[in-house]
Each structure stands twice: as C-alpha cells, then as structure tokens.
C-alpha cells in the first residue's frame, strides 16, 4: 500500500494541469459586488475594489471566478 501511495504522489506531482478560463470568465461585467475577493494559489489574498477587479480582468491579469471573486492569471492560465 505504501508503494502505491508514493507512486501516486510522484505521478500527481508531475502532472501539469493548467486551467484556461473560458469566455465568460474574461468578461469584466460579470463582477457584481463593490468589494471583490482576489485569489492566488488557493489563498484569498485581499479584497479589492470593483473598478480594480474589472481593470485586472480587462488587462487579462485575472479572470472571474464568480460575481464576487477573481483569480490571478498568468500567460492565459489560472494561478488561482
């Protein structure tokens, strides 16, 4: 059993899954609230203003996760 777990972890660590946001997630108008959560690497970093969030999405620095949250984006892929 231990060998299986070690092999699984090794394979999982080598897998390079990258999520590329879809069309609606690149639309700044999807952001609905005055304060927006800003996420990176599974951690909510801070709350930012609606205008700042929309600007980041517009410049493709971030993508919309929901109407209340955006995630960091780099080279067209999620880093959230």
Domain boundaries along the sequence of the chain: 17-78
Q: Tell me, what's the pLDDT at 12?
A: 53
Give the pLDDT of residue 59: 97
What contacts 24+ positions apart, CB below 8 Å, involve 9-18?
Answer: 18/77, 18/78
Q: Has residue 1 got a pLDDT over 70?
A: no
Q: Closest by alpha carbon to 51, among 28, 17, 80?
A: 28
What is the per-residue pLDDT across 9-61, written as a single tens digit (0 to 9) for each?
Answer: 555 555 566 899 999 999 999 999 999 999 999 999 999 999 999 999 999 99
Q: Is 42 left (phi over 0), alpha (psi -120 to 50) or beta?
A: left
Q: Is the pTM of this model over 0.85?
A: no
């Amino acid at each position: 059993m231990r060998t299986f777990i070690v092999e699984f972890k090794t394979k999982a660590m080598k897998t390079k899954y990258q999520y590329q946001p879809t069309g609606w997630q690149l639309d700044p108008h999807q952001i609905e609230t005055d304060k927006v959560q800003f996420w990176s690497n599974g951690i909510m970093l801070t709350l930012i203003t609606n205008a700042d969030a929309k600007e980041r999405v517009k410049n493709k620095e971030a993508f919309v996760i929901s109407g209340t949250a955006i995630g960091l984006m780099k080279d067209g892929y999620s880093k959230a």
